[in-house]
Amino acid sequence: MAELKAPMVGKVIEILVKPGDVIEKGQEIVVLESMKMEIPVEAGSAGTVREVCCKLDEAVSENAVLVVYE
């Protein structure tokens, strides 16, 4: 089981996957907005999405789990 974590404080502005999606290493999974910058958060490894743990427009803290996949 792998966790995609927020690299910094920010707001979730795009969620590009849903449970069941097969994802590749390096694929953009979630986009955060922080410091007026859109920051794509990429999968560290390949897998299948199990759970999306964030909502659109949600403010997330650093290291918050955004997506769980395996």
**Residue number, 28 or 58, with CB nearest to another protein:** 28
Positions touching another protein (CB under 8 A) are: 7-8, 34-40
**Residue number, 45 or 48, with CB nearest to another protein:** 45
DSSP bridge partners of 60: 10
What SS3 state is found at 34? strand
Nearest alpha carbon to residue 5 among 55, 70, 60, 46: 60
**Residue number, 1 or 35, with CB nearest to another protein:** 35
What SS3 state is found at 56? coil
Report in angstroms how near the CB of residue 39 gets to another protein at its nearest.
Answer: 4
